[in-house]
Amino acid sequence: MEDEEKAAESLVSNMEAAHSPSPVHCCWPHLRYWAVTSIICGCSCLGIVALVFAIKAEERHEEAKYWGARARRFILASFAVWFAVLFLGPLLLWLLSYTIAQAE
């Protein structure tokens, strides 16, 4: 009788383990939201690549840290490129006009 109870408990615990895979979380929570934000507020082509990698990180539990790290790099690159275009572009134009004015 005890053997049957142990076997039943073992079967139930194995079935529960099979139906509820333990999720592997990346270092950053909500990686997909950051990727979508980088599409909207950053360089969209890099943001799309980041979104693809973020989805891969959520789907592939064994390689989640690898894909999550790649998504993070593309998210940061997207924001950096947008920052460079938004703030450094006008600064470089101002410097160019200043040097042309000094040359005349």
Tens of pLDDT along 1-41?
566 666 556 655 555 444 444 444 555 568 888 888 888 88
pLDDT, position 6: 63
Which domain covers residue 26, as residue numbers? 2-103
| Residue 34 burial (C-beta neighbours within 10 Å; 0-12, 13-18, 19+) | buried
Q: Global pTM? A: 0.61
Q: What are phi and psi of 45, to 5 degrees?
A: -70, -40
What is the per-residue pLDDT for 47? 87
pLDDT for position 19: 46
Total number of domains constituting the chain = 1
CA neighbours closer than 13 Å in the CB half-sphere of residue 10: 6
